[in-house]
Amino acid sequence: MVESFRLINHHGMKLWISALFGGITVTVLLLIPHLLLGLLLRSEMSHLIALGQSWLDAPGAWREVGAQLLQAVQKSNTILIGYGVLLSLFTLFSALFYASGLMGVVRQAAVEQRVSLGHFFACGFRYLLRTLVLVLIQAAIFILFTALWWFLWPLLPTDWYWQVSFFIVSTGLLLFLAAASCHMWVVMVTEEMGAIRSFGYGFTAVFRRFGSTFVSLFGASFAGILGTVIVIFFTVFPWLILQLLNDSTIATIVGVLFGGLLLLILGPFPSICALAVLFQRYLTHIQNDLFPEDRIKPMFLQAGSGNAESAAARESIASGGAPSKEL
């Protein structure tokens, strides 16, 4: 945990700036297709908005206006469904792009000890499809787990100890899946793996380093919650100060606007804290046991620095030649 907070101390400002500018860029790019779709569907949307306004202006005639609104929706059913699907897809890919870029810059800070804004966008494109595949796999697992829980719960005996035992076992399995899921992302970005292999290595990490993975999970949760509390404090504090003014209406309006602006600016901070804990602890406590072959060095690199034969062998290999047979 100390290494994680040291990482935030050294690179927190650069990580926050990268996340902020990346989020602003993604939001602006997300608004463009939404505005284009809104212009294409301007007539249909204006008609629906007018009917909705009529519903609000004449609450007594809600049946007639509701029937007209339902008829208009049914007439534009295909257009509205297409708009909803495109809107959902654009939003999903924008969120995945932002998450991929944020994990990429945190990985760069933990591994390379530097942060660059361009790396945010590079990782956003590089890991976009892998992140999508991993999200779909994890969503399927958690949906299956939830369905199985709801199926087994009514079949339990009514004795309280059976229900408590079932709750404890299901909570343990949920924490196990959460720890594995967190480390799937870390392995995928740190080791630059595909989604399927990262999925397997997430469970392998939990089996090999059970305690460390759970400490990382709880540490990341604590860091994220602490960051959220700090953001909420700075967001609400201006509103509390402005309540001392005589005009409470102006104080509320200014406080809400200023607090909302601070929330947008400081919003990435909790995610950065949680990811910093996960990536830093992975590098210091989990990676060596998950990939022990990376610690194996060739024999000639293990020799002492004063060994002339090893030095000659290293120079021969570096120049492209074969090592001497006398070795």
Smallest Cα–Cα separation from 120: which of 33, 34, 26, 29? 26
Domain range for 77: 1-126
Q: Is residue 8 part of a domain?
A: yes
- Say which amino acid occupies 45: M
Q: How many Å from the N-terminal Cα to the C-terminal Cα in the chain?
A: 46
Q: Is residue 142 part of a domain?
A: no
Q: Is residue 223 part of a domain?
A: no
Chain centre distance of CA 304: 45
pTM here is 0.74
Which residues lie closer than 8 Å to 69 by C-beta, 6 or more apart?
48, 51, 52, 55
Q: Is residue 15 part of a domain?
A: yes
Q: Is residue 320 part of a domain?
A: no
| Separation CA 89–CA 71 (nearest Å) | 27
Structure tokens at 132: 């999508």
Smallest Cα–Cα separation from 266: which of 15, 11, 2? 15
Which tens digit of pLDDT belongs to each residue from 135-190? 999 999 999 998 988 888 888 777 777 888 888 988 999 999 999 999 999 999 99
Residue 201 has a CB neighbour count (10 Å cut-off) of: 21
| Separation CA 75–CA 41 (nearest Å) | 13
**pLDDT < 70 regions, the chain:** 1-4, 37-38, 40-81, 243-252, 254-255, 293-327
Q: Is residue 59 part of a domain?
A: yes
User: Per the structure, how many domains does the chain have?
Assistant: 1
Q: Is residue 150 part of a domain?
A: no
Q: Is residue 119 part of a domain?
A: yes
